Structure 1
């Protein structure tokens, strides 16, 4: 093994009876007690499976809640993602880091090697929970946070799931932080997105949404091609001081040239003008549309380039490769892992060509 290559080792111990209970029904969210040793420090935790369709995969993802102590390294909760369908195991982290580089609030993440009851479970991505500690870590004002839990988080009055009028304006969201009265601000946002008349939209929407942050978030979705990114895979943060909503990305493994099933993604998979009602209304405003185009062009000159991204890909893949070879779910696919640098390179080249061809529709 390359002596320079090191990622943290996490040792998870679950009593046999508790492990049997955890496995009895993978769809139950009720956590079970366990111990987690991180770099020599033993912690009492609660652990549960996390995710929706990913629970069916052989390599499980986990949500960890610290019990004793209640907080570890400034967090009450962390997520351990298996990244099972991503042959590179880096797309989520690559995306989160890219969002942060381009000025969008984004979770911190790092690769770790998980051992459960003495058995290697493989390479995981530890992801910061988006909660009050997320705000404290960044010295951000208190506010409310809403998770987009399904496709109804589409900023529309119409359900994305059953194509009928929503029964409530907050449908598709779950309040993670804040008080019940904060739901009013979310409902007010959705209502105004859909009812402000066109000639007042440019002025009025800026009372509810941080437009620059939204356009930057849009741009990174477009660069990474997260198909679900516009109606799912995000959280809303209402800044308590500015009283504006900002948007935080989540679940970006189906990106950078591979779809949710791990299949090769075509460069034109996600259109340059995206989806959802808020995006459509924002791009219907000349000023915002030109601002979005300028952002895309500027970022394609500086950040969304092979020269900027591929060294990051190389560094991540080299750091985890020795551990992928020990991952019981991935070690037989090391040749596929090694080809991912080429897959991501070709994706960036193809996506840039597509975007340059489509810039004219933003005029």
Structure 2
């Protein structure tokens, strides 16, 4: 596991700790092997900021980019017994064909003290698009639960702004009008109009693949939060990508077990509901999900990724001052994930039969 060393003036560290909710970066130095970089350092996340082991956001300043990235995230994965659910999820989406940030585990030290095992995650931004040789386009983050593609808030109150829940990560302010159009279209067009117009603004095939991924991994927040929208400038359609997927593979974001049938096969947001109302879109979704359940979302397919990952983490467990667990706990958690995959797979296959038999429009 690669070693990351951060050196920071204690005064700057105290400044970070004075108000953990401030997102302003403070100067620091990051050393990776024989290379040294000037960086801006800040805490990141929401629930994790209150924990002993916090997550960090790093912006490279000199040089401006490192390995093609200007910004990276170091996630503590504190509530995840396995330290792996986020990575497993992002890798899974990549595996099924959805644009997804890459990630790797690192051993983090700050001013000489080991802070433990962290997950480095790419920032989903214009630099990621450049690295993947994808067309440039605006990127919009879904930053809270209001990002549900609806005119109503999760509390069923009328929103004061169609863009509530969204933050522009890259692009111009005018680019947000395309998202407004998507939300408005989803909520106001009659069925025939919606079916004809939605493919002009949304990459429906990619969205249905993403939906399959959220449904398989069972991310409770994934339908109305924990995603980013990217508008491909060549097709002028939105594509969707996952992020913050630690509450998956049988547990919620606090690490508590979830039943394998907790999330329905159709998920829950307004855009998904409208798409699955039409026979052709629903058939595409069923076909995609069926293929994934046969080839990717199986114990056999995932074991080839999960087992080596868990084994690679075990030697560093004792170095993490925030972990109170043994390698046996990792083994037990691996079995927990395998059982979840098996049960979730069987449940979704049964639900597919029911979904395919339902009478729909079109």
TM-score, with structure 2 as normaliser: 0.96
Q: CA deviation at 1:333?
A: 4.6
Q: Which range moves more in the overlay, 70-79 or 330-339?
A: 330-339
Find 2:168's aligned residue among 158, 175, 187.
175
1:159 aligned onto 2:153: yes
Which residue does 2:282 correspond to in 1?
A: 289
Aligned pairs (5 A) from 1:222-233: 222-233=215-226
Q: CA deviation at 1:271?
A: 0.7
1:206 aligned onto 2:204: no
Q: Which range moves more in the overlay, 191-200 or 281-290?
A: 191-200
Deviations along 1:295-338, one digit per CA (max 9) or x if unpaired, are 11111111111110012100111111111221111153543223
Deviations along 1:259-280, one digit per CA (max 9) or x if unpaired, are 1111111100111110100000
Q: CA RMSD in A?
A: 1.0
Give the distance between the partners of 1:202 and 1:360, measured in 2 at CA. 24
Secondary structure of the corresponding residue to residue 109 of structure 2: strand
1:84 aligned onto 2:81: no
Q: CA deviation at 1:169?
A: 1.2
Which residue does 2:41 correspond to in 1?
A: 47
In the comparison of the two structures, how many residue pairs are matched? 356
Q: CA deviation at 1:13?
A: 1.1
Which residue does 2:359 correspond to in 1?
A: none
Q: CA deviation at 1:163?
A: 2.5
Which residue does 2:188 correspond to in 1?
A: 195
Give the distance between the partners of 1:242 and 1:254, measured in 2 at CA. 32
Which residue does 1:65 correspond to in 2?
A: 59
Give the distance between the partners of 1:59 and 1:145, measured in 2 at CA. 29
Q: Which range moves more in the overlay, 310-319 or 231-240?
A: 310-319
Give the distance between the partners of 1:43 and 1:290, measured in 2 at CA. 50
Q: CA deviation at 1:199?
A: 2.1
Give the distance between the partners of 1:280 and 1:22, measured in 2 at CA. 43
After the TM superposition, list the runs of 4 or more consecutive aligned residues in structure 1 that deviate by more than 4 angstroms: none
Which residue does 1:4 correspond to in 2?
A: none
Q: CA deviation at 1:15?
A: 1.1
Secondary structure of the corresponding residue to residue 28 of structure 1: coil
Q: Is the 8 A contact 2:250 2:259 kept in 1?
A: yes
Which residue does 1:136 correspond to in 2?
A: 130
Gaps spanning 5+ residues in structure 2: where? 357-362
Give the distance between the partners of 2:151 and 2:186, measured in 1 at CA. 9
Which residue does 1:3 correspond to in 2?
A: none
TM-score, with structure 1 as normaliser: 0.96
Give the distance between the partners of 2:172 and 2:20, measured in 1 at CA. 31
Deviations along 1:92-118, one digit per CA (max 9) or x if unpaired, are 111111101101000011110001111
Q: Which range moves more in the overlay, 336-345 or 234-243?
A: 336-345
Find 2:50's aligned residue among 56, 66, 69.
56
